[in-house]
A and B are shown apart, each in its own frame.
Chain A
Amino acid sequence: MTSIVTPRGPSAETAPSGPSPEHPLKRSQRRIGEGIAMTVLRAAAGLSVVITVGIFVSLLIPSISFFREINAWDFLTGTRWAPTFSDPDFGVFPLITGTMWTTLIGLLIAVPIGLGAAVFLSEYAHDRVRRIFKPILEILAGIPSVVYGYFALFFVAPVVLKDLLGIQVGTFSVLAAGIVLGIMIIPTVASLSEDSLSAVPQSLREGSYALGANTMRTTLRVVFPAAISGITASIVLALSRAVGETMIVALAAGTRAQVVTNPTDNGQTMTGFIAQTATGESSPGSLTYNTLFAVGLLLFVVTFVINVIAGIIVRRIREEY
């Protein structure tokens, strides 16, 4: 995931060219085994392209059958999502509002907290303090999303939101799911941003101090702008993870597909719909099964576009030191 900003490594090594005429060594014999081994290595690398093509094909084929029955325009703009009802409707807009709410709430939590943690670790914390807090962020990143889902459903919604803050939420709400989603992606923002803040050369900070700026001014006016490409990349990556996250929203956001206008509402996201429908019975070829893949295709396209934009941003505004 970090490879978006990873610099190119040293390029391939090649063997010294063939022996010169007076070279005492004979020309080495052909090595058939090595030829086979190279082919295997090359195939393994090429497999990643096959996987991408496979994703496209496996999403497209059922989606094409889906769009033969359902008008694509009605799918994208319809405001009633009821694919399994007796009078079915296939307007995906309610699922999109669900995803937008959880993602927005998640980013509202993760971006300030994650950036604060990154600035703290990179600019303020002493080595000893950093050695305590960095592993904590790593543990937070390693907790499975189903555990976060459990936490949202049985702790954040009933205890924190209802009892502690007195917010009227039901068992399921996009608010609880979004908050916990935000906690889950804090490490994504924090660790990538911290990497790019730490990569800003010390000389820039020293120059700023020499002009009389204190640590806060140096951080905000010098270090932060210099690291902005990595920070932007971290936020966009967090955005793409929030859109694609499944288990938290499947457990805590609810299963009622409605146009969400209030964060305390029960609402279904794109991933939540896929999870709910996939665990039920749906035989390949049925309209329900194809619906699953049409929503999957939409999800894939959205995250793909976000990732491409992230790549462009990084390349546009990257500063090399």
Chain B
Amino acid sequence: MTGIGQLVAPPLRAHRHGERSAASIVFLIALWGAMAFAVLSLMVLLVDSFLDGSARLDVELFTKYTSQVLPERAGARAAILGSAFVIAVTAILAIPLGIAAGVYLEEFADNSRWYNKLIEVNISNLAAVPAIIYGMLTAGFALAIGLERRVVLAGGIALALLILPVVIIATREAVRAVPREIRHGSLALGATPLQTVWRQTLPGAVPGIATGSILALSRALGEAAPLLLLGGLVFVNYDPDGLMSGFTTLPIQIFNWASQPQRAFQEVASAAIILMLVLLLIMNALAIVIRNRYQNRW
């Protein structure tokens, strides 16, 4: 027979196994260190950009075009307007398409069919394709249909392709969060499945879709890689005036300035970085506000 003493032995030794053991403390310090490294990197990055660029945060940044001769007075006017044009095209293309695809996959697709499974796997793979590949796709597509590569429309298409999987995934999650009872109620009252989606499910999912779409657009705003493939977006000294106009964007302009040897270009690049980060901050804040204020609690 086993004595009670054998069951509790060996006695617990707090100094070796407790929360205060040496190994535990070292482990916790390492975890704090990891967190601190991430936070510190962000702080240093922000402070460094601000110190470099604050001198050039002036009116000329907004009103002047870039200049090879006078880097001290170069501005990002064409890039700011170009970014606005391209993001508008991206939003018009990617958001309706993404919502339509997301709603179809979540509400109507029969998941046991091979083609719907294929679409699902495909979308998660597309989300992991390097951004620069979307630029090559757009360049090839533009060549095939005879569209000029370096225009606003091509830029918008490239960025729309890039964020389409993100919008689809966000839509699916938002639609999935709408409880089934709402759909059942609507169907029971005689609405068709499509009426149910249009009048009940989608309105309930709007805050989630809006948040996801704004975050996707903020990613598009900061992305330069796919646009590089459209060629020659470097020294643009005019405002974009339509879909078929040449353009440059903020991240492309920053990339170009940062590649120049002159110190003055480096300063205007970091001023443009500050401007872009402020824009992104506003978009992210907007997304968070929408999520917190309008998110339906079921």
Contact = CB atoms under 8 A, between A and B. Distances in A.
Given A116-B31, A212-B17, A216-B23, A144 B223 contact: yes
A44 interface: yes
A48 B225 contact: no
Nearest to A217: B17
A264 to B, nearest CB: 21
A54 B137 contact: yes
Interface string B26-42: 01101111110111011
Interface in B96-118: 97-98, 100-101, 103-111, 116, 118
Nearest to A4: B124
Contact of B31 (A2, A37, A119, A247): A119
Contacts of B219: 142
Contact of B140 (A58, A121, A274, A279): A58
A175 to B, nearest CB: 16
Given A13-B107, A51-B126, A299-B130, A58 B141 contact: yes
Contact of A37 (B194, B196, B221): B194
A47 B187 CA distance: 29
Contacts of A40: 100
B176 interface: yes
Interface residues of B, number: 108
B34 A300 contact: no
Interface in B208-249: 215, 218-219, 221-225, 228-229, 231-232, 234
B180 interface: yes
B258 A150 contact: yes
Interface in B25-74: 27-28, 30-35, 37-39, 41-42, 44-45, 48-49, 52
Contact of B133 (A31, A55, A115): A55
- Identify the interface centre among A31, A49, A214: most chain B CB within 10 Å of its CB: A214
A15 interface: yes
B130 A120 contact: no
Nearest to B161: A51
A277 to B, nearest CB: 10
Given A3-B123, A12-B110, A47-B97, A212 B130 contact: no
Give the bracket for the number of chain A residues in contact with chain B.
35 or more
Contacts of B228: 246, 250, 274-275, 278-279
A296 B30 contact: no
A213 B293 CA distance: 42
A215 interface: yes
Interface in A254-306: 271, 274-275, 278-279, 281-282, 284, 292-293, 296, 299-300, 303-304
A240 interface: yes
B24 to A, nearest CB: 5
Contacts of B143: 284
Nearest to B284: A142
Contacts of B12: 212
Contacts of A52: 122, 125-126
B180 A2 contact: no
A213 to B, nearest CB: 7
A150 B133 contact: no
Contact of B276 (A31, A147, A250): A147
A41 B100 contact: yes
Given A54-B140, A214-B18, A241-B128, 9 more contacts: A44-B97, A45-B101, A48-B123, A57-B140, A140-B42, A147-B277, A150-B254, A247-B255, A278-B228
Closest 3 A/B residue pairs (Cβ): A244-B130, A116-B34, A58-B140
10 contacts: A48-B122, A48-B165, A51-B126, A59-B136, A120-B32, A148-B45, A149-B255, A149-B258, A150-B49, A246-B131
